[in-house]
């Protein structure tokens, strides 16, 4: 079986997000002051082959822990969709 994974990796809520703050400021300059609390992270898509969904989940979780997310500063979440051949 093959699955596509959609992964979101965001700065931990307690952490300051300087990039997000800067973009929030720019919103005001664009006349979009109703937009606040901008926080910026990574969106990653990938394909994973596995014998079933739970194995696919375990592999994506391992990839997040080992490579994609820095767990000291970031949190991650993901969803899986089966790819119909």
Which positions from 11 to 50 touch a second copy by CB under 8 A, shown as an x/- string?
Answer: ---------x--xx-xx--x-x-xxxxxxxxxxxxxxxxx
Say which residues have a Cβ less than 8 Å from residue 67's Cβ, sequence separation at least 6: none
Residues 76 and 66: their CA atoms lie apart, in Å, by 12
Half-sphere exposure of 5 (CA within 13 A, CB side): 25
Q: How far is the CB of 37 from a second copy (least distance, A)?
A: 4
Q: How far is the CB of 61 from a second copy (least distance, A)?
A: 11
Q: How far is the CB of 68 from a second copy (least distance, A)?
A: 7
Contact between 45 and 4 under an 8 Å Cβ cutoff? The reply is yes
Which positions from 49 to 68 touch a second copy by CB under 8 A, shown as an x/- string?
Answer: xx--------xx-xx--xxx
Contact between 45 and 6 under an 8 Å Cβ cutoff? The reply is yes
> Site residues (CB under 8 A) for a second copy?
6, 8-10, 20, 23-24, 26-27, 30, 32, 34-50, 59-60, 62-63, 66-68
């Amino acid at each position: 079986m093959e699955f596509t994974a959609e992964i979101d990796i965001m700065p931990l809520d307690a952490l300051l997000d300087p990039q997000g703050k800067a973009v929030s400021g720019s919103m005001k300059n664009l006349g979009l002051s109703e937009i606040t609390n901008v926080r910026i992270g990574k969106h990653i898509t990938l394909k994973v082959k596995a014998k079933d969904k739970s194995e696919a989940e375990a592999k994506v979780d391992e990839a997040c822990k080992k490579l994609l997310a820095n767990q000291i500063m970031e949190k991650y979440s993901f969803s899986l969709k089966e790819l119909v051949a």
